[in-house]
Structure 1
Amino acid sequence: MRAVMVMFDSLNRHMLPNYGCDWIKAPNFAKLSERMVTFDKCYAGSLPCMPARRDLHTGRYNFLHRSWGPLEPFDDSVVSLLRRHGVYTHLCTDHGHYFEAGGATYHTNYNSWEFARGQEGDPWKGQVEDPHIPESLSGPKIGDLWRQDWVNRPHLDSEEKQPQAVTVANGLSFIETNRDQDNWFLQIETFDPHEPFFTQQKYKDLYPHVYEGKHFDWPDYGRVKEAPEEVQHAIYEYAALVSMCDEYLGKILDAFDRWNLWQDTMLIVNTDHGFLLGEHRWWGKNIQPLYREISNIPLFVWDPRYGRSGTRSDALVQTIDLAPTLLHYFHIEAPKDMQGRSLHQVIEQDRPIREAALFGIHGGHVNVTDGRYVYMRAPNGPENGPLYEYTLMPTHMHQPFGVKELADIELQEPFDFTKGCRTMKIRANTYLNPYLYGSLLFDLERDSKQDSTIEEPETEARMIRHLARLMRENGAPEEQYERLGIPRDGNVAEETLLAERLKRKEGYETDLGIGERWTAEGRNLYLALKCLAPAKLRETADVRLSGYLSSRQTLEIGADVVSAFAVELFGGDTRIASVLRQLFAVPKP
């Protein structure tokens, strides 16, 4: 028995022909729905990149206990379990996060691995002289990452040199070498179509359009500030990269045809999450609410044991289900701490495997869906706490936790999945604060694009019960219930939900009592400012804003006034003002 996983990064479901997109040129993706089972209600679990990969390895949610980080010593990695039972595992990837401090324990679980260099700001080619960087709409705001990307690009001047092409070639070489062998798992994982949307001209030519603006293939995460033609150009750049992904997916499908791998080889095609390309006025994936464009992800599975092809499933499934699916395929029992469910039940019998699913980012909304409704539960107050990281691997994306973060760590008694290990308990620092948006309820049956929220207290109360039950099953830290303002049993009265909305409205409608005149943008940003501020500054913000207005001899409070006040309030901390601009025009509750 053999299995191949083809994993893309930031692959948008709504940009694929399999899910209704009629203009993207992706014939090989379309073939997946002819040869495999297409899942319509697959959701991510933990976001973004490495949290999603921990979900994939361990079959359980990462985001309730910690943020970005490596595999933990107590984790059950599906790759390690396969190896332990005699299945050879190989990784071909160009995903640079595996080789940073915050991802360094994932690739080492495989028997062997190959890394293709050059994606995003991969510290690959050394060049002391600054590279030529064209004037860009997104600008060199991301420092060394941006600079290094432009050092790397001249070395990727032909298609066969691009990391995705190298990654797939490595995967095909493994298949050709080992096609007559049994008991192996191959993961072919490319960073594309993750930004920057950098590809060769032949793919750009698939999407001809008139554009005379600045270079723009790497949007900043945040509110859309660009003109419509600039947004559309970036969408076409993304589309070109999806078409390149399609080209190389086709090479893998050709290999399955050529060597008749369909007969005895499982194929999984998946992604970690989607990406907002201007929808909901956002770029990116990890600041704003996790709309369907981010959380509802594509998934295709071929299981040769059942031979089901050309079918669709509306069963609610998640990334955490892939580990137990692989274990079941190789006749290996899943460990008790793995909470995902094998997809064989869906593929063989079209049987649902869950009522509801959680998804989220550490410190963000805790989201739950039952397939029709999506409920995004915000924290109970602007402090977004209490919130802690629980880990034995205190590492951010690029570096370990700082000494200040570790200065007051505690030891946490074991969770039920840490195998008797106590973990560090570290106060979390997060720029996310979903209190800005409040709790949001959507009915996807009536509003598939999530253009407007609904107020149905009975439905909201039911979704909270789902959410609390899944949190309990995941062994969520007790303070997460306090942060969200829900009881552990999830039983919340409808009257309580109404009182929450009134309290939030009062917090939004600040009245300084001096006859000030607010713009909508000013109110939005002032609420954002209060959410960003430490408790002591938050308590004195209204008084200090009154004094600030008096010193400027104005009563008009717009976005510019709040941004300037933020710099003064935080002692010249321009980072806060930058975050406020990123969160510009936060929706009114």
Structure 2
Amino acid sequence: MKAIMVMFDSLNRKMLEPYGCDWIPTPNFQRLADRAVTFDCNYVGSMPCMPARRELHTGRLNFQHRSWGPLEPFDDSMPEILKNNGIYTHLTTDHQHYWEDGGATYHHRYSSFDLNRGQEGDPWKTSPELIDATAERKLVGRVNYFDKANREYIDSEEKMPQARTFRAGLDFLEKNHEKDNWFLQIETFDPHEPFFTQKAYKEQFAHEYQGEMGDWPPYYFVTEGEDSVRHMRLEYASLITMCDHYLGKVLDKMDEYGLWEDTMLIVNTDHGFLLGEHDWWSKSIMPVYEEISHTPLFIYDPVSKAAGERREALTQTIDLPVTILDFFGMEIPKDMQGKSLFPVIREGKKVREYVIFGYHDGHCNLTDGNWVYMKAPLDGSELYEYTLMPTHMNSRFPVSELQDIGLQEPFSFTKGTRTMKISAKAGMNDAINFGTKLFCLESDPKQEHPLMDIGKETELANEMVKLMRENDCPVERYARFGFPEQGEVTEEHILAARKAETEDRIPEGLKNLEWERGAVNMYHVVKRFLGEGAVKAQELLVQKAEENVITRSSVGAWMSEIAPDGLKDMLWYFAALASRTE
């Protein structure tokens, strides 16, 4: 038996022909859909990039316990299990996060790996400008000097990281297609931003544009106007067509070597991406809307040979490693929570009723494929990292974070091992700013009209708590979301949490005034930056009120007067983010 996984990053399902896109030609994705099973209700789990890849190894959610980080010593690893049981595993990738501190333990789990440099801001090539920027302490800012240096070298399609990654995967197939017992993972960072590609792919989306957006959207709300949104979508579309082209080369090899007879093919992604929807760019900051959470998935099963069929069963990233292990006849480790998808593919069976997903410091989200429940954390709630590998995305934990480490008793999945318990902080744009949201996709597919239905919210909260308990969630996470550690969630719990998100966030002494939601969020950002200085300046804030209402403009005017000059720009940046409640 043989298996291939072709994995893209930040692939938006709505930009593919099999999922209804009629303006970006993706003939090879359609060709794949005609030969495989297309999944219509597949969702993310732990986010973003490396948490999702940890799930691809371990088959279990990790966002309740840990943010971005390496595989842990107690983690099960699907490719390593295959390797240790006589199945050769090979990874070819240009996903540069694998060779940062926060991804350092992943690629060594394979029998062999091929790393292709140059994506995003990969510190790969050098230039005189980069050396000057380093000396002048200009590396952090709007210009990514590493990316500029890399692009000076990547001056043709064959030098593109995606092209080199697929070429290495195709070389593996050419050499080994007659052999048995192997797993090949071809993983490209595209179409993740920046949307850098070559002229041939841009020509079919040629357009006039006078703005300054380039091909790299910010992690921010849209301020640039509809012309920039259109431009960025066309840049993304250009890169999508490149992804489609190289997917076609894999399908060609499947045809040429008759691999459809005995080779499973999985085509997937880690998450989607926002390109102006909900007036946001990118991911990570805003709630996890459908454009981010609801992802494309295609699987060809050489046993059933089901082709051109669709499945509506609810599935999730954690199901993929379990499915691969099942395909090779491996025993599934007890700590894996994913489900084999063969009953879905072969019999159309449902394997679950609900899934939860999210970021470590963000909302806890639940869906059944129709209802989407986004539960916001409460202000001031506890947050910890549980880890034996204290590294962030591209750095180790600084010693300042390691001064007060606790030792956590083993979780059910840590194989008797205690972990460090390290206090963590949410970012300046805390998820509490958006509040809890409830959507019904059947009546509101674009998630434009959040519902207030305490009965339904209570029902979904109980399903969420059930899955949290199955995940052996840290005890403080229940209080973080306003849930009881034991017993059922009641309407009283939901009402209390809603009050904590709204009324209780209005500053003491100013509760007699009416507040815009965004204004409250801005106030808390100012307080986080300026501490008691902001509290002492409340009288000035009252003077800025507009007819007894504290608006975002009121807080902005107040903030401009009390903020020190050296903090003004940063304070405005985070206050503007916090003012957005959708």
TM-score by length of 2: 0.93
Residue aligning to 1:396: 392
1:544 to 537, 557, 561: 537
Distance 2:204 2:382 in 1: 50
User: Residue 366 of structure 1: CA displacement?
Assistant: 0.5
**CA 1:584–1:203: 2 relative to 1, 3 Å:** farther
**CA 1:197–1:339: 2 relative to 1, 3 Å:** same
Residue aligning to 2:574: 579
Residue aligning to 2:418: 422
Distance 2:250 2:308 in 1: 18
Residue aligning to 2:92: 92
Point out where structure 1 has 5 or more consecutive residues left out of the alignment. 134-139
User: Residue 570 of structure 1: CA displacement?
Assistant: 8.2
Q: Map Cα deviations across residues 155-184 of structure 1 (whole Å, 9 max, x no partner).
A: 111111100000000000001000111100
2:562 is the counterpart of 1:562: no
Please tell me the residue identity of whatever aligns with 1:143.
Answer: G
Residue aligning to 1:281: 279
Q: Map Cα deviations across residues 9-46 of structure 1 (whole Å, 9 max, x no partner).
A: 00001111111111111111111211111001100000
Residue aligning to 1:104: 104
User: Residue 526 of structure 1: CA displacement?
Assistant: 3.6
Distance 1:84 1:514 in 2: 63
Residue aligning to 1:320: 318
Residue aligning to 1:482: 479
1:147 to 145, 148, 155: 145
Distance 1:74 1:565 in 2: 51
2:404 is the counterpart of 1:411: no
Contact 2:98/2:106, CA 8 A, preserved across alignment: yes
Residue aligning to 1:136: none
Deviates more, 1:117-126 or 1:424-433: 424-433
Contact 2:527/2:535, CA 8 A, preserved across alignment: no
Contact 1:223/1:283, CA 8 A, preserved across alignment: yes
In the TM superposition, 1:454-473 aligns within 5 A as 454-473=451-470
Q: Map Cα deviations across residues 337-380 of structure 1 (whole Å, 9 max, x no partner).
A: 0000111111111111111101000010001111111101112x
2:250 is the counterpart of 1:252: yes
Identity value in percent: 51
Residue aligning to 1:363: 361
Distance 2:56 2:507 in 1: 44
User: Residue 216 of structure 1: CA displacement?
Assistant: 1.8
Q: Map Cα deviations across residues 222-251 of structure 1 (whole Å, 9 max, x no partner).
A: 111111101110110001000110010011
**CA 1:132–1:571: 2 relative to 1, 3 Å:** closer
**CA 1:404–1:225: 2 relative to 1, 3 Å:** same
SS at match of 1:441: strand
Please tell me the residue identity of whatever aligns with 1:479.
Answer: E
Residue aligning to 1:444: 441
User: Residue 142 of structure 1: CA displacement?
Assistant: 4.9
**CA 1:127–1:387: 2 relative to 1, 3 Å:** same
Distance 1:566 1:239 in 2: 40
Contact 2:44/2:52, CA 8 A, preserved across alignment: yes
User: Residue 438 of structure 1: CA displacement?
Assistant: 1.4
Q: Map Cα deviations across residues 517-561 of structure 1 (whole Å, 9 max, x no partner).
A: 97x5xx5144244167559938x7454232466699999965466
User: Residue 571 of structure 1: CA displacement?
Assistant: 9.1
In the TM superposition, 1:108-147 aligns within 5 A as 108-130=108-130, 142-143=140-141, 146-147=144-145
Please tell me the residue identity of whatever aligns with 1:578.
Answer: Y
**CA 1:488–1:513: 2 relative to 1, 3 Å:** closer
Please tell me the residue identity of whatever aligns with 1:544.
Answer: A
Residue aligning to 1:157: 155
Distance 2:483 2:563 in 1: 33
Distance 1:253 1:337 in 2: 34
Contact 2:376/2:434, CA 8 A, preserved across alignment: yes
Distance 1:161 1:435 in 2: 44
Contact 1:525/1:580, CA 8 A, preserved across alignment: no
Deviates more, 1:16-25 or 1:542-551: 542-551
User: Residue 281 of structure 1: CA displacement?
Assistant: 0.8
**CA 1:101–1:239: 2 relative to 1, 3 Å:** same
Distance 2:456 2:512 in 1: 40
Distance 1:220 1:513 in 2: 35
Please tell me the residue identity of whatever aligns with 1:389.
Answer: E
SS at match of 2:295: coil
